Structures are given as structure tokens and as C-alpha cells.
């Protein structure tokens, strides 16, 4: 369903470790993990907890709905993008990969991800 879009991200983001479409419950819809050394389903479920915290923060502080969450660690960059209707794109890259470049490449394909979901 999303394989052609995953492949395009892999071609344009050299440091891509994995990419996955996950539901708001953290359950993986589809995944592409060319270099993943960790369980994507566990990461998706844990990121769901972060999203729920962000939603509470949004309600309490009126910051607005989060459209992107980025976590940079010494080992990986983990980015979560809101696609539509409680479905998210989870992208994991090498730490050297520039988050701005990843953001740009994801934004270029975002409408295609949402079209597949429609």
C-alpha cells in the first residue's frame, strides 16, 4: 500500500533506518525497515504514549495540535508526523541525518500518504 512511498523516502534520505505508518493506538499499519536494529512495533507503541502526552499539553496550554514530534538521540533521530485521522508516519534515521532534510522529503510526499489513506 505504501511501499512505493517508503522506497522514495529511502532513495532521498541516505540515513533512513526505517519508516512506518502507525495508528494512534501504536499498531503498525505498514512498515519498511531496511536497516532497523530494533522492533518498530514497540517504538510505534511508545511513540503513541508521547502523542497522548502532547495532546494533553495542547489542551492545557492551547499550543495547538502537534503535527510533528522529533526526538534526537545519540543513536537515532525519531520523527513522527500526523498524516490524518489518527494515523501517523514514523521515521527513524541515523543521527547524522539532518532533520530539516527529512522534514522536507516527508512534506513532499505527505499528500500522497494521505491520498492512500483516503
Domains defined for the chain, CATH in brackets = 3-117 (3.30.450.30)
pLDDT for residue 37: 67
Q: Residues with Cβ < 8 Å from 8, sequence gap 6 or more?
A: 109
State residue 60's pLDDT score. Answer: 83
Q: What is the pLDDT of residue 58?
A: 80
Low-confidence ranges of the chain (pLDDT < 70): 34-38
Residue-level pLDDT at 101: 94
| CA dihedral over 46, 66, 82, 10, signed as positive or negative | negative
Q: Which whole-number Å values give the CA distances from 61 to 53, 58, 65, 67, in the listed order? A: 12, 5, 11, 16
pLDDT of residue 35: 67
Please check whether residue 38 is in contact with residue 73, taking contact to mean a CB–CB distance below 8 angstroms: no
Nearest-angstrom CA–CA distance, 86 and 1: 17
The pLDDT of residue 36? 65
What is residue 59's predicted lDDT score, i.e. its pLDDT?
A: 81
**Verdict on whether the full-model pTM lies above 0.75:** yes
Helix (H) or strand (E) holding 30: strand 28-32
Task: Of 91, 27, 82, give the one whose Cα is nearest residue 55.
Answer: 82
Residue-level pLDDT at 4: 94
The pLDDT, as a whole number, for residue 111 is 92
User: Closest Cα to residue 24, out of 71, 65, 63?
Assistant: 65
Output the pLDDT for position 118.
83
Amino acid at each position: 500500500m505504501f511501499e512505493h512511498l517508503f522506497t522514495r523516502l529511502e532513495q532521498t534520505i541516505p540515513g533512513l533506518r526505517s519508516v512506518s505508518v502507525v495508528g494512534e493506538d501504536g499498531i503498525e499499519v505498514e512498515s519498511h525497515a531496511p536497516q532497523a536494529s530494533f522492533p518498530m512495533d514497540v517504538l510505534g507503541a511508545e511513540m503513541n504514549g508521547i502523542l497522548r502526552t502532547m495532546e494533553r499539553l495542547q489542551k492545557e496550554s492551547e499550543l495547538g495540535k502537534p503535527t510533528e514530534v522529533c526526538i534526537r538521540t545519540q543513536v537515532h533521530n525519531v520523527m513522527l508526523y500526523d498524516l490524518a485521522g489518527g494515523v501517523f508516519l514514523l521515521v527513524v534515521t541515523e543521527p547524522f541525518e539532518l532533520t530539516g532534510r527529512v522534514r522536507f522529503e516527508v512534506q513532499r510526499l505527505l499528500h500522497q500518504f494521505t491520498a492512500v489513506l483516503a
